């Protein structure tokens, strides 16, 4: 579905990001994954190469909060491949701190990585995509961007901002043949969720109409669809992948 496409995926060393990198490679894309540290990037690359030595995948670890550092890495991808067809802004942090314990610094940190850092990747990539005649930008939102959560106000606020960014960029960049969408995962079996005891997991499952927790591959499949030509007329959408758990 993505044969010959060049993709950059942030937060690609584990969880949803890693599953998406693997899914894209399986579908013929060439992928550059961004991680937070060299050791985590190297570990992810080693794992992927062990699975299939023929996959064309490389990595980098720019500080996503540093616009110049991100722009430099984006330019390196363009210099290597001549184009960037797909950008997935997946890196982010969550939070569940009650408002009584919140600090302005904590709020700013979440907004920096979940919103500002996305723009640091989008701005240089849009220039490349306009020059080449189009592309796809995909963002990771969240179920809580739609329904909120009971604590940790910064996280749903940041993901609501991602939705607004997605809708607005889709309208602005449509004439340039650049599609912009987001995926809003529900509760997904990442390392953090997998570590929860059974007595905490089961009530979560009971609250999901489809009666199971999402898998990282479920989210990767959504990204695959939106990145592919099958979604050539889909832009400005926030695709919920949450088993209908909206409350």
CB-based burial label for 3 (10 Å; 0-12, 13-18, 19+):
exposed
Distance, C-alpha 41 to centroid of its chain: 16
Q: What is the DSSP letter of 53?
A: T
Contacts with 216 (C-beta within 8 Å, 6 or more apart), sequence order = 15, 16, 18, 19, 20, 188, 189, 190
CA gap 100, 53 in Å, rounded? 51
CA gap 123, 240 in Å, rounded? 25
Check: CB of residue 95 under 8 Å from CB of residue 110. Answer: yes
CB atoms closer than 10 angstroms to residue 67: 17
Tokens in use for 38?
């060299």
Active-site positions read 155
Please provide the DSSP assignment of 63-82 as one string: -TT-HHHHHHHHHHHHHHHS
* Nearest to 178, CA basis, from 224, 123, 217: 123
Backbone angles phi, psi at 43, to 5 degrees: -65, -45
The number of residues making up the chain comes to 247
């Amino acid at each position: 579905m993505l044969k010959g496409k060049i993709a950059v995926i942030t937060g690609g060393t584990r969880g949803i990001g890693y599953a998406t990198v693997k899914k894209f490679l399986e579908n013929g894309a060439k992928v550059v994954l961004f991680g937070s540290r060299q050791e985590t990037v190297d570990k992810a690359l080693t794992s992927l190469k062990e699975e299939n030595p023929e996959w064309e995948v490389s990595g980098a670890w720019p500080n996503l909060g540093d616009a110049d550092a991100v722009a430099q890495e984006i330019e390196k991808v363009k210099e290597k491949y001549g184009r960037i067809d797909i950008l997935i802004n997946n890196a982010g942090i969550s939070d569940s701190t009650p408002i009584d314990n919140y600090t302005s610094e904590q709020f700013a940190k979440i907004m920096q990585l979940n919103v500002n850092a996305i723009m640091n990747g989008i701005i240089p990539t849009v220039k490349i995509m306009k020059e080449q005649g189009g592309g796809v930008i995909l963002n990771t939102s969240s179920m809580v961007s739609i329904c909120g959560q009971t604590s940790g106000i910064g996280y749903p606020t940041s993901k609501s901002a991602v939705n607004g960014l997605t809708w607005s960029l889709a309208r602005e960049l449509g004439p340039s043949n650049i599609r912009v969408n987001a995926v809003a995962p529900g509760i997904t079996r990442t390392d953090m969720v997998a570590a929860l005891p059974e007595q905490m997991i089961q009530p979560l499952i009971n609250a999901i109409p489809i009666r199971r927790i999402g898998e990282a591959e479920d989210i990767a499949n959504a990204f695959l669809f939106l990145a592919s030509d099958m979604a050539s007329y889909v832009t400005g959408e926030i695709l919920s992948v949450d088993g209908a758990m909206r409350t």
